[in-house]
Amino acid sequence: GAGVSQSPSNKVTEKGKDVELRCDPISGHTALYWYRQSLGQGLEFLIYFQGNSAPDKSGLPSDRFSAERTGGSVSTLTIQRTQQEDSAVYLCASSPGSPGDTQYFGPGTRLTVL
Amino acid sequence: AQTVTQSQPEMSVQEAETVTLSCTYDTSESNYYLFWYKQPPSRQMILVIRQEAYKQQNATENRFSVNFQKAAKSFSLKISDSQLGDTAMYFCAFMKHWGFGNVLHCGSGTQVIVLP
């Protein structure tokens, strides 16, 4: 079946603009995660959804970052008033939703803030 | 807090040879999961292998195998008969067992370069 998809693949924006990143998880997966990966680094957790609710938003770096998930499926990560330090690859992962389930990743969105 | 350490930033290996990537982790949890993910230039993180901490038997997936030493908190990955397509960044990751929404904690990665 289809894997996790993300769009856009690449996004270049100017400092101060808002951006929206989209994630479409594997069908039937109730858990959805957003991570950020800066150049040459590992993963930085941003937010976790179980269904449409976000029990853990602890990783969002500032109030400029927000995310929502609708219909238990697609999720959108929004970054307002982008800053150069927001430049990174944003990865989305989904899992069936039970403890210990493997997370499956999308191809990521590379965000460049000029 | 969980930390994952990969001490080898880069490793090169000749095609058809074997390479071993090291990973250590720190946790107070007794039950957890460990993973190796591969990230080629396409950016997508691809699951290579998964190990449940309560299983003593080391996981194996075709040419990939792990050496899991729970007491030493060590989880190395062996790639046998290396192929050019194995060239990628490899991340070791830890996840708690209990509860929902368990986050993956990754190391900084090891770049593997397979030479023809």
> Is B57 part of the contact surface with chain A (CB cutoff 8 Å)?
no
pLDDT of residue A1: 57
| B85 burial level (CB within 10 Å; 0-12, 13-18, 19+) | exposed
B44/A33 Cβ within 8 A = no
Cis check: omega of the bond before B41, within 30 degrees of 0 = no
Residue pLDDT tens, chain A, 114 long: 589 999 999 999 999 999 999 999 999 999 999 999 998 778 999 999 998 988 888 889 999 999 999 888 999 999 999 999 999 999 999 999 888 889 999 999 999 999
Determine the residue among B31, B44, B54, B98 to mutate to test chain A binding: the one whose Cβ has the most chain A Cβ atoms within 10 Å: B44
* Whether A93 and B95 lie within 8 Å, measured CB to CB: no
DSSP-derived letter for residue A53 is E
Q: Which of A42, A48, A100 sits opposite B107 (nearest CB)?
A: A42
Residue B74 contacts by C-beta under 8 Å, 6 or more apart in sequence?
A: B22, B23, B24, B67, B68
Nearest to A106 among B44, B91, B102 (CB): B44
pLDDT tens for residues B17-52?
999 999 999 998 888 999 999 999 888 899 999 999
Instruction: Give the nearest partner residue to B109 out of A31, A42, A100, using CB atoms.
Output: A42
- The DSSP bridge pattern shows strands B32-39 and B46-52 to be antiparallel
Contact B103 A99 (CB under 8 A): no
d(CA A63, CA A59): 11
| Chain B residue closest in CA terms to A54 | B101
